Chain A
Amino acid sequence: MKALRPLGLLALLALAVLFPLLFPNPAVDTVAVLTVLFATAVTAWNTFSGYSGYISIGHAAFFGIGSYAVAILCQDWHVPGGYLPFLLLPLAGLIAVAFAIPMGWIALRTRKHTFVILTIAMFFIMQLMAFNLRSVTNGSRGMSLPIPVSWSGAFYDLPFYYVGLALLLVAVALSWWIRNSKYGLGLLAIRDDEDRARGLGVRTGAFKLTAFVLAAFFFGMVGGLHAYFVESIFPAFAFDPLIDLMVALMAFLGGLGTISGPLLGAVILVPAQQFFTIWFNKPGFYLMIYGAMFLAIILLLPQGIVPALRGRFTKAETLAGPVRSGDDGDVAAAVAWAGDVGDGERGGGA
């Protein structure tokens, strides 16, 4: 099993790289671009919310800030369509960071439900600003981005896809590395018992804030890329509360706090959304299905797909041994149970 893992990862990577070449269909590739973008966002989100346990429903604000950052920079610097706007993405990320530092600093003073509510409130404040700071954002009339006129047909999606894939790989590598570092261990300790972690020398404030800001950096870049991809932005769509709900749903479906779970969630839910939109021929209809799915996940698969599957495997292996009879039984039962709770994934996989 262990030896097969690098091979499996390599195969997945090859599939991801070759995908648009294997399916040179603009409709399919558009879904692929969105999938890669959401996968990046959910991976970054999970590195903060999944590891630290602070569920943010406000990171979509940084997606919006990134969208506007790229739109405004392109406009002010007269950036033509083509590859140049991609170079602005790190800058869009940094602008999101500039907002995230004070916002995180304030929001992270609170915990649990209060934190969730505060991130939602901050999100709507930013959306309101996009509507009302007309001199900067052009208000509800929105903004257009440069159009890469020389890209056409099936080629159009490719640059977006590969830039998105690059972001995704960076996000996954970072998430994996954090999970295996002492920093990541500190975040997981915060999730379990923040005060206790603090009492053991973990700099909880700095840990939480850096993770919050790091996620914002990726949301900023993803937002910028998305804005360029869709060519025009409006306050209600750049600052869309559904983005956060989607991201949270993906992470919960796949397995909060694991590395592969959120990716799996994105790969399932983004195409599903597109499919339902076409199927029902009504935008937004998929929301009903999503709502039902959210309920189903919370009730039936509270750990998410990946930890549940892992639990299956470990259970099958350990049930052979004695269960809960004396000392060794305790261990067997513990290991079996570990699969169910074990969102402490170490290996990770795309």
Chain B
Amino acid sequence: MSLLQTRAVSKAFGGVQALDGCTLGVERGSLTGLIGPNGSGKTTLFNVMTGYEAVDGCTVTFDGHEITNATPDRVFQLGIGRTFQLTRIFPRLTVLENMHVAAQREGWRSLFGRWSSSREHQRALELLDFVGLTRLQDVPAGNLSYGQKKLLEFAYVLVAEPDVILLDEPAGGVNPTMIHYLTDRIRELNQRGVTFLMVEHNMEFVMGLCDRVVVMNHGEIIAEGEPEAVRSDPKVLEAYLGA
């Protein structure tokens, strides 16, 4: 059974059918790409999976737990981390403080401790180093460049050691060197057992990195399979050409 599974997820906003019976499984240890034209429902699907958008009459399961309409904090606690298309960091907290916000998985007792002396501090520093932001740890996160913010968001999601990470356009607006760097980081984590589901418009990025690609259009899944097969699927070409 898939690690993360949605069954027949539908979601409408007023007259717009953003999702229309989406059934999607993400296998443990995979690097799955989710692509599709603008407005095809990719972000909405992420929102449903992570508790940011309510649905009815369908199910979302994660590792045997039903998480349909679970709250975002519960979804996170179970081990699903995500980033946002429009990066969401805490602008007035420093980079290091941002890293500590996500480290909330240790029971309520840890609340009374100083965040800077906890066990997670070491981990936070390691991860900052991992994404190359060590130098900026005391800078308010709002001052980072666009790409740096993406890296920070990626890093603080990692603090909690999630089993699955959903990335919404990790490469959007990021320069080629940084994309390269990001690709390496994702591969490295995947080798350590982290499962990825990522939305991305940069085809080179998706085709180079993912082992499976799912294509959405008008809220439906129209194709899925290996990158090569999807690339040459006429339905996909049609969707992208807007026919």
Contacts and interface: CB of A to CB of B under 8 A. Distances in A.
Bound together: yes
Interface of A: 180-183, 185-186, 188-189, 191-193, 195-204, 330-331, 333-335, 337-338, 341-344
A185 B97 contact: yes
Contact of B50 (A182, A199, A342, A343): A199
A331 B101 contact: no
26 contacts: A181-B111, A181-B114, A182-B115, A182-B118, A189-B93, A189-B101, A192-B93, A195-B72, A196-B89, A199-B76, A199-B82, A200-B101, A200-B102, A200-B156, A200-B160, A201-B73, A201-B105, A201-B160, A331-B136, A334-B143, A337-B140, A338-B94, A338-B140, A342-B92, A344-B92, A344-B140
A167 B112 CA distance: 21
Nearest to B106: A182
Given A199-B51, A334-B140, A344 B102 contact: no
Interface in B68-112: 71-73, 75-77, 82, 84, 88-94, 97, 100-105, 110-112
Interface of B: 50-52, 71-73, 75-77, 82, 84, 88-94, 97, 100-105, 110-116, 118, 135-136, 138-140, 142-143, 145, 156-157, 160
B102 to A, nearest CB: 4
A242 to B, nearest CB: 30
Contacts of A203: 73, 104
Contact of A192 (B73, B92, B102, B112): B92
Nearest to B143: A334
Best-buried of B52, B104, B112, B138 by chain A (most CB within 10 Å): B104
A197 B157 CA distance: 11
Contacts of B118: 182
B95 to A, nearest CB: 10
A198 B138 CA distance: 23
Contacts of A191: 92
A201 B94 CA distance: 19
B101 A186 contact: yes
A330 B100 CA distance: 23
B140 A202 contact: no
A148 to B, nearest CB: 39
Contacts of B91: 192
Contacts of B135: 331
Given A181-B113, A182-B111, A192-B93, A199 B143 contact: no
Nearest to B118: A182
Nearest to A184: B115
Best-buried of A185, A202, A333 by chain B (most CB within 10 Å): A185
A336 to B, nearest CB: 10
A186 B118 CA distance: 15
A185 to B, nearest CB: 5
Contact of A198 (B73, B114, B140): B73
B142 A193 contact: no
Given A182-B110, A185-B97, A200 B76 contact: yes
